Structures are given as structure tokens and as C-alpha cells.
Amino acid sequence: AQRVTQPEKLLSVFKGAPVELKCNYSYSGSPELFWYVQYSRQRLQLLLRHISRESIKGFTADLNKGETSFHLKKPFAQEEDSAMYYCALSALSTDKLIFGTGTRLQVFP
Amino acid sequence: DAGVIQSPRHEVTEMGQEVTLRCKPISGHDYLFWYRQTMMRGLELLIYFNNNVPIDDSGMPEDRFSAKMPNASFSTLKIQPSEPRDSAVYFCASSSRTGHYNEQFFGPGTRLTVL
């Protein structure tokens, strides 16, 4: 079965500290992984995709097939990074996304 | 483009009443998704459509839930009768295969409270 696990409901850090939001997935094939973000009073929006291998707002995420993980990282957190982050998986044979339960990131000044 | 439009933004109703949530996808998008968001379960896909046809409704919790897409620019999610456990934020999202693969664009959500 396809499943996405985000073990932390809440992650609190101080400004300037490194951040790692954990995401593990369960899927037998080759998935496509995403991170979506929801800032306060804004819509849920795509942050990054693993196939793009891009850095967005200082965030990166590497797909580790051996550990079935897709952790989101940023070396120095900013207050404006405070938001709800969702990891999502898409099987290549379907068009739907399977979301994790989300992690709320709080960055304190 | 105003993006995905949902109405109403907030709905408060009493148990047993019928609730209808509405969604207008982004023009030109051929996929439409309905999600439910709760603290305990996060974002759950309820149903999705491709070219107005329901493709996967395995996430629809019960027969009390139904969704329609009569045309490319409008979809409804109906709950009848509503129950307190249906209280959640319901999101609609749309996407297009001609754009970024699987990048879904979300609406602002409808916050439903069933008393």
C-alpha cells in the first residue's frame, strides 16, 4: 500500500538553526515525491519536487530510495518559514497524490 | 486567473442537514480533486475527476458523501445527512497534464462545522 509518514506533528526551532522535516514513504515502485507548504492564511502550494533537484527558499530534499525517505532540509531557518509542511507521493501510474499528516514548523526569533 | 475558487468559505450547520460545497477549478485544468483536512488524519483524498469523469472515489468515507462534476468549470461535494464527525476543512484542487506534472493548485478551502 502507498503511504507517507511524517513522524513529527510539530517542530520548533530558533531562527538560524538547521531544520529537517522528516518524511518516509511506502511504495513498491518508483514514486514521485513532493513537498507542499501552507503558510498562515494562504493556500496550500507546491514547494518542491524531487525530480527537479532544485532548492526553493533555501530548502532542499533528497530522495533516498534505500531508506525510503524524502526529508526536507534547510541549513538556516527563518521566521517566515513558519508554516505547515506536507510530504506527498505520487505513483507514476496514477494522477493522485498521497499526503502525509503534515508537520507544523515554528521558527522563533 | 483567480485560481481555484471554493464556496462557501465557512459553513456551520446542524447535524442531519444537507451540506453542499462548491468548487470552480482553474480554466483549462482537466483534473479536479476533493480533499478533507483534519488534525488527526491530515489531508485525505476523497475523490478525483478527469475530464469531468470520476476516476477514483475510494476515499469517500460513506454513502452520505457524493460528488459531481457536471461540466469542466464546476464541481460539488454533498454531505447528506451531515454529522459532527464531518467537521473539517474541505479543499478542492485542480491540475493539468499539460502543465507541471501533478502540481495541484489548491483552493482556499471550506471550513465545515457540524453541530
- Residue B81 and residue A52: Cα distance in Å, rounded? 44
N- to C-terminal Cα distance for chain A? Answer: 41
Residues B45-96: tens digit of each pLDDT: 999 999 999 999 999 988 999 999 999 999 999 999 999 999 999 999 999 8
CA A58 – CA A70 distance, rounded (Å)? 16
Contact A98, A17 (CB under 8 A): no
Residue A30 — pLDDT band, cuts 50, 70, 90? confident
Task: Using a CB–CB cutoff of 8 Å, tell me whether A93 touches chain B.
Answer: no
| Chain B interface mutation, best of A37, A84, A95, highest count of B Cβ atoms under 10 Å | A95
Rounded distance between C-alpha atoms, residue B8 and residue B20, angstroms: 9
Which positions ≥6 away from A52 have C-beta within 8 Å?
none
